[in-house]
Amino acid sequence: MVAKIVTQLQREYLDATREAGIAALQPSVEWLLTFIEPRALFSLVSARNTVDVISALLKSVGSEDVTKDARIVDLLRDTLPIPQPPPLGMPKLARERADHYLARRLAPSTLRSYNLNVERWQVYCRITGYNPLSPLAVEVASFIATFSDRQSYGRVLGVAAALRMFWRAMGCVDATESLEVRNLLAALARRREPPVRARKPYRPLYEEDLRRMLVALCTQ
Amino acid sequence: MHAVNIRNGVILTLTYFLKLQVHELRALQVDDVRRDAAGYLVHIGSVERYLGPSRDPIVDPVRWLDVWRHVLSVQAPWYPHGALLPKFDETRVWLPRPLSPVSFFGIYDDAARAAGLDVRSPGVALQKGFVIASVERYGALLTARFVRYRRMDSLAAHVPEIRQQATLIRELNRGRPQYGKITT
């Protein structure tokens, strides 16, 4: 429920940025004010939730958090800080239980791996100037192709899974389902070679070695 | 020096000089080794192998066997026949039973570790290592004959250099009756 509402807010925000034709991850304070003000008129709590979601989004991408600007803080000043019972109409126990299950859906190691891979994607986006939340399929394919150099197929799959999770959580279109990315993954799977067993070869043991062993035996 | 260590020394030297495998070592009986003027005649199954002295007194297998047979006769006169390499329990009291195959590998392990040898899974690697050294020195065919590997393939699995010869022998054996098999 919480995730759904957060997703809804994100989607609204992303749609608004798209309509306004500005970068979703680097919004100007003025535009943010025009986006938030009508919500604040309708409900201060709703406006605050929206700002929180935007702030989290900007933080996750690593761009500057403009929601801490004085004008926006002023606008939301009258809002009480959100207390423990959420404003989203969910009983506390149920919400805690939902959080509990959400947190345990993935193993800690999986979460770590996902975080790392999403970070990789964001760094790549920062370098190339792609939009991490709504990239073209070709851009995702180029990222995966870059990553797959000298990486095992399992790791490439891990990256794809992390991106899928990331976009679903952010309420974006899942680009890994595009034909380009699927074809690339299939090609990489075909490229995969049977694992070579890296075994230490047997080394010859000479009479000196036997001598050393026997000496060690005698001196025990 | 405890009798256990002497027995282990016998095991190591026999493994090295006769390239014996674990099942052959286990099957050795006291009566299977006969003293000669210079060395020992060792019966391994239906084959008789000569175990000569070595120049180095520490690795000399004849010496080790002499000492071991002396220990056997003094410490266990009640043990005239039976396994040449008996088992010792935890308190180092010996039992008139042959060693288990696993304990052989334990003995190899301990010896390799005590000598500080860098070998992979010492228990197995020790025997293979001896065989590889022998291949380097005497060549594959002689070693295979000496070691009595039933099939050279099993040797070739560990010595990549002789794979070609192993393949050749496999080709020669194809279609032959069992009794005419070239086993080297």
Whether the predicted pLDDT of A182 surpasses 90: yes
Decide if A211 contacts A201 (C-beta within 8 A): no
Give the pLDDT mean for A202-212: 84
Q: Where are the domains of chain A?
A: 2-101, 108-191
Give the pLDDT mean for B73-98: 78
Decide if A56 contacts A65 (C-beta within 8 A): no
Cα–Cα dist B2/B15, whole Å: 20
Q: Mind telling me how many Å the CA of B37 is from chain A's nearest CA?
A: 24
By Cβ distance, the residue of B9, B136, B158 closest to A217 is B9
First to last CA, chain A: 70
Res A176: pLDDT: 92
- On whether the pTM is more than 0.80, the answer is no
Give the pLDDT mean for A71-98: 64
Whether the predicted pLDDT of A204 surpasses 80: no
Confidence of residue A2 (pLDDT cuts 50, 70, 90): low
Contacts of A212 in chain B (CB under 8 A): 115-117
Which residues numbered 176-215 in A keep a CB inside 8 Å of some CB on B? 199-207, 209-215
What pLDDT digit, counting tens, does each position of B41-72 carry? 998 877 788 899 999 999 999 999 999 999 88
- Is the CB of residue B130 less than 8 Å away from at least one CB of chain A? yes
What pLDDT digit, counting tens, does each position of B6-43 carry? 999 999 999 888 878 788 888 898 889 999 999 999 98
By Cβ distance, the residue of B114, B133, B158 closest to A217 is B114
Q: Mind telling me how many Å the CA of A198 is from chain B's nearest CA?
A: 12
Tell which residue, A54, A56, A3, A60, has the closest CA to residue A27.
A54
Cα–Cα dist B28/B82, whole Å: 8
- Is the CB of residue B168 less than 8 Å away from at least one CB of chain A? no
The CATH fold of domain A108-191? DNA polymerase; domain 1 (1.10.150)
By Cβ distance, the residue of A202, A211, A216 closest to B132 is A202
Cα–Cα dist A184/A190, whole Å: 10
Cα–Cα dist A47/A67, whole Å: 12
Res A185: pLDDT: 93
Instruction: Give residue for tokens 């760094």.
Output: A123
The nearest alpha carbon in chain A to B109 belongs to: A213
Tell which residue, A16, A4, A91, has the closest CA to residue A49.
A4
The nearest alpha carbon in chain B to A214 belongs to: B9
What are phi and psi for residue B43, nearest 5 degrees?
Answer: -90, 120
Domains and CATH numbers, chain B: 3-119 (1.10.443.10), 139-184 (no CATH)
